Amino acid sequence: MTKAIKLLSALPQKQRERLMELAREVSFPEDARIFEAGGTADRFWVIRSGDVHLYQQVTPTRRVKVAGLGAGDLLGWSWLFPPYQWDFGAEAFSPVRAYEFDASAVLALCVEDPLLGLSLVRTVAEVLAHRLEMTRGKLLEQYEVSRRSR
């Protein structure tokens, strides 16, 4: 598996500096629900410290962890794509500090600076490709475990 793409370090310095002008420092206590699947995706975060779990609600009483995120990781990409709703839920697994970005402000900056927009979309695409690869690996592991237990 390839190494995780860290959004801020993957962007060219000039674009990273412009993006960081829009950053707001936030924190979430352990067990805080950061967002729920189906909610409005109007922001995203870059985790500075702590751990976040992404989960999928599979029944009204059961949810499954689909990914764990930590320092440097991008939290939230649904703000880039219609219908701008979260595909998963996210919960702080430990106290979390993060940079928060307002999606509309970032999108406006991308229109103003197309190079930043292209760099940002490419980097988010790399993050998504990496997460898809991780998910594929987990599914294969689960398949092998279930196959051996038959």
Q: How far apart are CA 115 and CA 92, in angstroms?
A: 33
The reported pLDDT for the residue numbered 106 is 97
Fold observed for domain 12-144: Jelly Rolls (2.60.120)
The reported pLDDT for the residue numbered 1 is 44
Q: How far apart are CA 110 and CA 105, in angstroms?
A: 9
Domain ranges of the chain: 12-144
Give me 96's structure tokens: 């979390």
Tell me: pLDDT of 143 over 80: no
pTM attached to this predicted model: 0.86
Tell me: pLDDT of 80 over 50: yes
Report the 3 state secondary structure along 78-129.
HHHCCCCECCCEEEECCCEEEEEEEHHHHHHHHHHCHHHHHHHHHHHHHHHH
pLDDT single digits (tens) 18-34 = 999 999 999 999 999 99
Tell me: pLDDT of 118 over 50: yes
Q: What is the mean pLDDT of residues 68-92?
A: 94
User: Contact at 8 Å (CB) between 100 and 42?
Assistant: no
- Comparing 20-29, 42-51, 83-92, 136-145, the range with the smallest average pLDDT is 136-145
The tokens 């109007």 sit on which residue? Answer: 42
